[in-house]
Amino acid sequence: MSMKYIDEYRDRDLIIKLADLIAESAENDYAFMEVCGGHTAAIHRFGIPALLPDNIKLISGPGCPVCVTGTDYIDMAIACSQMGDVILATFGDLIRVPGSEATLEKMSEAGADVRIVFSGMEALDIARHNPHKKIVFLAIGFETTAPGTAVTVKQAEKEKIENFYILCAHKVMPPAMEAIVKEGTTINGFICPGHVAAVTGSLIFEFLPEKYNIGCVVTGFEPADIMQSLLMLIQQVNSKKPEVEIQYKRAVTYGGNRSAQLYMNEVFGYCDAYWRGFGIIKESGLTLNNDYKSFDAENFIPPTTKNYEEDKRCICPQILRGIKEPGDCPLFAKLCIPENPIGACMVSPEGACNTWFKYRVNL
Amino acid sequence: MTETISLNHGGGGKQTHELIKNLFLKEFGMTEPLTDSAILESKGSNIVFTTDSYVVDPLFFPGGNIGKLSVCGTVNDLSVSGAKPLYIAASFIIEEGFPLNDLQRIVESMAEEALNAGVKIVTGDTKVVGKGKCDGLFITTSGTGILDNNLEYISTGKRIKPGDKLIINGSLGNHAIAVLGARNNLSFSTPVYSDCASLNHMIGKISDSCKGILFMRDLTRGGLGTVLNELSEMTGKGIYIDESYIPVDEPVKGVCEILGFDPLFLANEGKILIAGEQGKETKILDLLKKDPLGKNSAIIGEVTDERVKKVIMNTVSGGRRIIDMPSGVQLPRIC
């Protein structure tokens, strides 16, 4: 039985061959960062660390949108859920992220109307069917999900749906990658996010080899993709010729998806944004442009105290910056577990701690 | 905030186990191990007794409905204990305003499934609650059966030894995906049907002609991943499985890829895990494959004395990882 275009990338013989080539080429110590949470999840789901020699270290980066969402955003969403005439529509992962005092899951159990959706369009549909309520879509995610939100907002405008709003925390990837490099975390190469690059094109990573001499390979999400990219990164390091290469050629081009970019640029502009673990990163967030400000839920949400405080014992900030691993945290797998996450990295199935807990903690 | 029941308590994973352990077992003075049916001792053969509630949403889904499910589920809980299911009690909690036609269809499927499984529905109860006090219809069925008193070891797996083989009777996840599809009006290019079925005849055929069955459990809520963890916990042994041997149908695989589900943890309603004595696995597999409900059966792994109480999987791509007890409910990924 074969699943078209998937099983080919999970072929055991091919992957073992790549593992042999990696072992032969890996003559030094290497630290590679996978920026995207999808890669973190795939690496552990397919048990890739067991295929790599000890001198290759994979570091999980800040690429899980749920994990980098700040406490202040959750507090705002919670305040919004308490307004009476509001239905919150959210991706499932967000409901367990701890705010200062509660989670959306707890608010939902206590009676708030919080609904899980798979897309902004689904939220828009809730708005169509509930004209007397305000529907607030919690718009989070990187360049992968932002075009979807942009299209939804455009659609709401076209249909004159006036009870649809977004609470926007969309972020863009390159400024966070630059922040990590500037902090001095040792990284010999980036496994770059394939889905982000499918939208933006690989060109957004060019500054990394140019300014910082760090190689990049835009990578797909199957085990053969990841193994091949690791081999490409090792060869870049060995030859001392860092550049941006595209391994994920079946989805990614240099220039990306022009139409998605146009939607994004029309609806959003850049703003400074708070990242859990990093603080404020300049020009790293997206905010609604003036023409679309009427869709901004922040127009009517009562002000909350901007609280960025997290549990002091939690080392999510260091994990998100690639300085520490989940196993280094005193809370990990003891007080902080998937059903009671203390830090955001334990919440999302793509968070480093959640992934470690599920797949690797006891291996 | 005071503690409340959350949906996670119904997920079949850790929180469900904790609730059962810390509340029900404690207050009712019952002891572990947790098996699918209680065995009530009597002379000659033992009486087996089980109960289960059904709250599936939507009530009708491709391949079945809540009524069929409520019979199959209880028949299977009795059967995997090694027992012959005989009698069923059915209780209905119905919401005011529920269409009688729907109830008729549901009850008809229960009757049909009982006939098919060779069990009798002998007693029951009906309660109606006000609008909004329950979601349409909930059904509880209880069942009894008889068990040869020398087959008690099947529900606890206490005769399992390193080297014994693990077998499942077909592809995983069809029930969960069929229900998910019906609930969210997802249209699949190839339809997915629930595997909902009474397995007592299939199980009966194997146990009549082969004595190598050491353990059985149905792979319902929580799926194969949960049952493997329960087995390794109960026996104190390690378990190795190989992902490439685990059958998953193409449409189910596709939905899992898109929504981020792991088929290992999806619910089935016509699948069981069998631990077969080393050396007898081929015989068991051949017998299973002869039955229409077992034609895609596969040996997926074995019991080991390394890795105590751990479930390890060789992944399809040649890597290796832990299969842990799931926590909460599976959530979709967002990027």
Phi, psi values for residue A193, rounded to 5°: -65, 115
Output the CA–CA distances (angstroms, integers) from residue B149 to B47, B48, B87, B284, in the order listed.
9, 10, 19, 22
- Nearest residue of B to residue A8, measured between CA atoms: B317
Distance CA(A211)–CA(A213), nearest Å, equals 6
Q: Residue A90 CA to chain centroid, in angstroms? A: 15
Distance CA(B145)–CA(B88), nearest Å, equals 9
Please list every residue in chain A whose beta carbon sits closer than 8 Å to the beta carbon of residue B309.
none
Percentage of residues in chain B with pLDDT exceeding 90? 61
pLDDT mean over A16-32: 96
Whether A19 has its CB under 8 Å from any CB of chain B: the answer is yes
Specify if B329 maps to a domain.
Answer: no
3-state helix, strand, coil in chain B (%, to 5): 35, 25, 40
What's the burial of B202, exposed, middle or buried (CB within 10 Å: 0-12/13-18/19+)?
buried
B58/B90 same-domain check? yes
> Which of the residue ranges A236-240, A293-297, B190-194 would you say has the lowest mean pLDDT?
B190-194
Can you give the residue range of the structural domain that contains B268?
Answer: 157-322
Specify if B28 maps to a domain.
Answer: no
Whether A84 has its CB under 8 Å from any CB of chain B: the answer is no
| End position of a domain, from candidates B123, B148, B173 | B148
A223 and B315 in contact by Cβ < 8 A?
yes
| pLDDT exceeds 90 at position B3 | no
| End position of a domain, from candidates B148, B165, B181 | B148
Task: For residue A95, give the CATH number of its domain.
Answer: 3.40.50.11740
Specify if B208 maps to a domain.
Answer: yes
How much is the pLDDT for A184?
Answer: 83
Specify if B243 maps to a domain.
Answer: yes
B109/B187 same-domain check? no
B142: nearest Cα among B84, B78, B56, B208: B78
Strands lying side by side in the sheet with B213-218: B213-218, B272-276, B165-168, B298-304, B238-242, B311-314, B320-322
ipTM field: 0.72
Residues 208-247 of chain B with CB under 8 A from chain A are 244, 247
Please tell me the total count of domains within chain B: 2
Q: How many CB atoms lie within 10 A of CB B283?
A: 16
Specify if A225 maps to a domain.
Answer: no
Q: Which helix (H) or strand (E) holds A161?
A: none
B51/B105 same-domain check? yes
pLDDT tens digits along B23-72? 777 776 777 777 777 777 667 788 999 999 999 999 999 999 999 999 99
What are the beta bridge partners of residue B213?
Answer: B276
- B208 CA: distance to closest CA in chain A (Å): 32
pLDDT band at B206, cuts 50/70/90?
Answer: very high
B203/B289 same-domain check? yes
Whether B132 has its CB under 8 Å from any CB of chain A: the answer is no
Q: Could you tell me which residue, B45 or B194, shows the higher pLDDT? A: B194
DSSP state of A119: S
| CB-based contacts of A19, cutoff 8 Å, min separation 6 | A51, A52, A227, B318
Q: Could you tell me which residue, A312 or B167, shows the higher pLDDT? A: B167
Between A36, A47, A109, which is nearest B320 by CB?
A47
- A223 CA: distance to closest CA in chain B (Å): 7
Structural contact between residues B215 and B94, judged by C-beta atoms closer than 8 angstroms: no
B203/B260 same-domain check? yes
Cis peptide before B247 (omega within 30 of 0): no
Q: Could you tell me which residue, B331 or A215, shows the higher pLDDT? A: A215
Specify if A145 maps to a domain.
Answer: yes
- Enter the tokens of residue B284: 């068991």
Specify if B5 maps to a domain.
Answer: no
pLDDT tens digits along A40-69? 989 988 999 999 999 999 998 888 888 888
How much is the pLDDT for A160?
Answer: 97
How much is the pLDDT for A5?
Answer: 67
Please tell me the total count of domains within chain A: 1
> Which DSSP string do the residues of A48-99 spell out, in sequence order?
GGGGS-TTEEEEEEEE-HHHH--HHHHHHHHHHHTSSSEEEEE-GGGGGS--
B141/B233 same-domain check? no
pLDDT tens digits along B162-179? 999 999 999 999 999 999
Specify if A277 maps to a domain.
Answer: yes
Can you give the residue range of the structural domain that contains A142?
Answer: 68-172+256-299
pLDDT mean over B146-151: 86
If you average pLDDT over every residue of chain B, what do you get?
89
Specify if B212 maps to a domain.
Answer: yes
Specify if B317 maps to a domain.
Answer: yes
Specify if A285 maps to a domain.
Answer: yes
B317 and A15 in contact by Cβ < 8 A?
yes
Between B324, B327, B333, which is nearest A339 by CB?
B327
B16: nearest Cα among B333, B335, B330, B325: B325
| pLDDT exceeds 60 at position B155 | yes
| End position of a domain, from candidates B91, B113, B148 | B148
B161/B282 same-domain check? yes
Task: For residue B104, give the CATH number of its domain.
Answer: 3.30.1330.10
Cis peptide before A303 (omega within 30 of 0): no
- A149 CA: distance to closest CA in chain B (Å): 13
B101/B181 same-domain check? no
pLDDT band at A4, cuts 50/70/90?
Answer: low
Specify if A116 maps to a domain.
Answer: yes
B97/B175 same-domain check? no
| pLDDT exceeds 60 at position B334 | no
B306/B285 same-domain check? yes
Distance CA(A314)–CA(A320), nearest Å, equals 11
Specify if A335 maps to a domain.
Answer: no
A93 and B250 in contact by Cβ < 8 A?
no
B163/B270 same-domain check? yes
B164/B313 same-domain check? yes
Specify if B312 maps to a domain.
Answer: yes
| pLDDT exceeds 80 at position B237 | yes
Task: For residue B218, give the CATH number of its domain.
Answer: 3.90.650.10
Output the CA–CA distances (angstroms, integers) from residue A74 to A106, A115, B53, B145, in the order listed.
12, 15, 36, 52
Determine which of A122, A222, A230, A362 to mutate to test the interface with B (most B C-beta atoms within 10 Å).
A362
Q: How many CB atoms lie within 10 A of CB A272?
A: 12
| CB-based contacts of B100, cutoff 8 Å, min separation 6 | none
